[in-house]
């Protein structure tokens, strides 16, 4: 039985349930972050990927259009083309399309029977933007984006509200890491407070032996990351006390884990004071306090997005095959924040989330071990029953784990997956 305390292992290992050319219906029906609004400028074509399909985005008269990335003539990638006079031109034979995707210019037109020409492109059925994050859904119908996000909207709000200039921009390079494992394994890890002491034991140990974080003005480049690695070794009581929430769509978020005093340019640091000052200047004292009191850690927007609003990192998992996933990791710069805050974001990405980091590499090793273990066929079920039967329903539709290490997040993810698969 799925969505209860166990998860059938075949979900991760049977190719028939994961054909990359016909993605799981759970994935097709849901909303996925495909780009960031600021990156899609007028007159520019942006290539992106969704569930193994290539997409092209462009903006015209302020509105974002998302299409399958191929020309209906011979199938060449449109993203390699250009925008001219409000049309997208294919670089292969010069066919062009307007914003509705309707075919416009066709060179050598007299060579075609006009009524037999294809009419237009395949647009992605639904596109919606929330706080600058562009979402797309491959399904024609289904819940709207805000209903889909539910209470997880607050995590995006936190992400953006923290910027003194009210905006984020992707900056500092994009990590693309891969592992030989199912996409679900990553999502089942990011809210798991019971794994760091075990999986990250080696980075916790070396971080404890690292130099103490420097006083204001004497900080080390790596202080923010060393603090995080040490935090991974927090006592069990800390992990049990954090908040762990899930939503009916399988999203989850962790709270009350970090507060700003644990950030390097945090409370008591002149850089943080400057940052807070700029935030206050824009939103006022009361609102700034409210924003900074939100202490959300990892948020998962099931089934493909995971982010850390306080640390300004976002990851998207792309299923490539049943046992192969690619993850893109983005860092964000907060508009009008002191430069040092973005430098901390970059240092954090390098040491914690980067492809050659101390922390991520151990997670990837474990995902591959899971894939190999589950592929053995020795058992039909795995056990995700920590805290089962003690979940607390909240009024807003969310459910809270009885403790911070409850496996409620995994049960919520598999319940969402089962519901979509049975539709």
Partner 1 sequence: MNVEQFLYHEARLLDTGQLEAWLELFTEDATYWVPLEQNQKEPLETSSIIHDDRTLLELRVKQARHPRAHARQPLARTVHQVGNVMVEEEKKSEIKVNSTLQLIEFRNERQRVWGALVEHRLRRAGDSFRIAHKRVDLVNSEGELDGIAVLF
Positions touching partner 1 (CB under 8 A) are: 171-173, 175-180, 198-199, 201-203, 205-207, 209-211, 220-222, 326, 331, 339, 342-343, 346-347, 349-351, 354-356, 358, 360-362, 364-366, 368-369
Compare residues 206 and 267 and give the one whose CB is closer to partner 1. 206
Query: Do 372 and 200 meet the contact criterion of CB atoms below 8 Å apart?
Result: no
Q: State in angstroms the smallest separation of the CB of 174 from partner 1.
A: 8
Compare residues 25 and 355 and give the one whose CB is closer to partner 1. 355
Compare residues 96 and 353 and give the one whose CB is closer to partner 1. 353
Compare residues 366 and 408 and give the one whose CB is closer to partner 1. 366
Q: State in angstroms the smallest separation of the CB of 178 from partner 1.
A: 5
Compare residues 80 and 343 and give the one whose CB is closer to partner 1. 343
Q: State in angstroms the smallest separation of the CB of 205 from partner 1.
A: 6
Q: State in angstroms the smallest separation of the CB of 64 from partner 1.
A: 25
Query: Do 298 and 258 meet the contact criterion of CB atoms below 8 Å apart?
Result: no
Residue 334: name the closest of 159, 131, 153, 155 by CA.
159
Compare residues 72 and 224 and give the one whose CB is closer to partner 1. 224
Could you check whether the bond before residue 303 is cis, i.e. omega within 30 degrees of 0? yes
Q: State in angstroms the smallest separation of the CB of 175 from partner 1.
A: 6
Q: State in angstroms the smallest separation of the CB of 350 from partner 1.
A: 5
The one-character DSSP state at 177 is E
Strand ranges of the sheet holding 96-97, from the earlier edge strand across to the other edge: 82-84, 87-89, 96-97
d(CA 230, CA 162): 25
Q: State in angstroms the smallest separation of the CB of 44 from partner 1.
A: 20
* 338 φ/ψ sector (left φ>0, alpha ψ -120 to 50, else beta): beta
Residue 169 corresponds to which tokens in the numbers above?
A: 């921009």
Residue 292 corresponds to which tokens in the numbers above?
A: 């900074």
Query: Do 11 and 184 meet the contact criterion of CB atoms below 8 Å apart?
Result: yes
Compare residues 66 and 229 and give the one whose CB is closer to partner 1. 229
d(CA 161, CA 279): 9
* Secondary structure of 275-317 as H, E, C letters: HHHHHHHHHCHHHHHHHHHCCEEEEEECCCEEEECCCCEEEEE
Query: Do 421 and 196 meet the contact criterion of CB atoms below 8 Å apart?
Result: no
Compare residues 177 and 414 and give the one whose CB is closer to partner 1. 177
Residue 60: name the closest of 14, 2, 12, 127 by CA.
127
Residue 56: name the closest of 71, 359, 371, 163 by CA.
71
Report helix angle 270-283 to 285-293, nearest 10.
Answer: 120
Q: State in angstroms the smallest separation of the CB of 314 from partner 1.
A: 13
Unique residue bearing structure tokens 């029953």: 385
Compare residues 60 and 220 and give the one whose CB is closer to partner 1. 220
Q: State in angstroms the smallest separation of the CB of 423 from partner 1.
A: 32
């Amino acid at each position: 039985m799925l969505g209860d305390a166990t998860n059938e292992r075949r979900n991760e290992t049977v190719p028939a349930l994961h054909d990359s050319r016909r993605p799981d219906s759970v994935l097709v029906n849901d909303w996925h972050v495909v780009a960031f609004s600021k990156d899609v400028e007028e007159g520019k074509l942006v290539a992106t990927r969704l569930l193994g399909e290539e997409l092209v985005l462009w903006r015209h008269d302020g509105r974002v259009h998302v299409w399958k990335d191929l020309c209906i003539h011979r199938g060449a990638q449109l993203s390699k083309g250009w925008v001219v006079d409000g049309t997208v031109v294919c670089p292969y034979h010069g066919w062009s399309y307007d914003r509705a995707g309707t075919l416009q210019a066709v060179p050598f037109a007299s060579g075609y029977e006009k009524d037999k020409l294809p009419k237009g492109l395949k647009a992605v059925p639904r596109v919606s933007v929330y706080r600058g994050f562009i979402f797309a859904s491959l399904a024609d119908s289904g819940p709207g984006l805000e209903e889909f996000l539910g209470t997880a909207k607050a995590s995006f709000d936190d992400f953006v509200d923290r910027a003194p200039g009210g905006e984020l921009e992707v900056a500092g390079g994009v990590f693309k890491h891969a592992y030989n494992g199912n996409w679900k394994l990553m999502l089942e890890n990011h809210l798991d407070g019971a794994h760091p002491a075990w999986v990250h034991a080696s980075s916790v140990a070396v971080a404890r032996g690292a130099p103490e974080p420097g006083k204001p003005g004497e900080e080390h480049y790596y202080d923010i990351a060393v603090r995080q690695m040490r935090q991974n070794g927090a006592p069990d009581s800390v992990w049990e006390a954090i908040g762990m929430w899930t939503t009916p769509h399988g999203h989850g978020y962790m709270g009350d884990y970090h507060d700003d005093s644990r950030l390097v340019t945090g409370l008591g640091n002149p850089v943080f004071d400057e940052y807070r000052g700029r935030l206050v200047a824009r939103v006022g004292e009361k609102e700034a306090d409210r924003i900074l009191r939100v202490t959300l850690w990892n948020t998962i927007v099931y089934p493909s997005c995971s982010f850390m609003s306080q640390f300004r990192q976002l990851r998207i998992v792309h299923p490539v095959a049943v046992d192969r996933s690619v993850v893109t990791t983005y860092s964000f710069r907060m508009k009008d924040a002191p430069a040092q805050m973005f430098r901390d974001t970059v240092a954090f990405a390098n040491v914690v989330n980067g492809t050659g980091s101390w922390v991520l590499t151990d997670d990837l090793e474990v995902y591959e071990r899971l894939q190999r273990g589950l592929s053995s066929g020795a058992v039909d079920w795995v056990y995700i029953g920590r805290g089962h039967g003690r979940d607390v329903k909240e009024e807003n539709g969310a459910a809270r784990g009885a403790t911070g290490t409850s496996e409620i997040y995994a049960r919520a993810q598999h319940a969402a997956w089962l519901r979509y698969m049975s539709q």
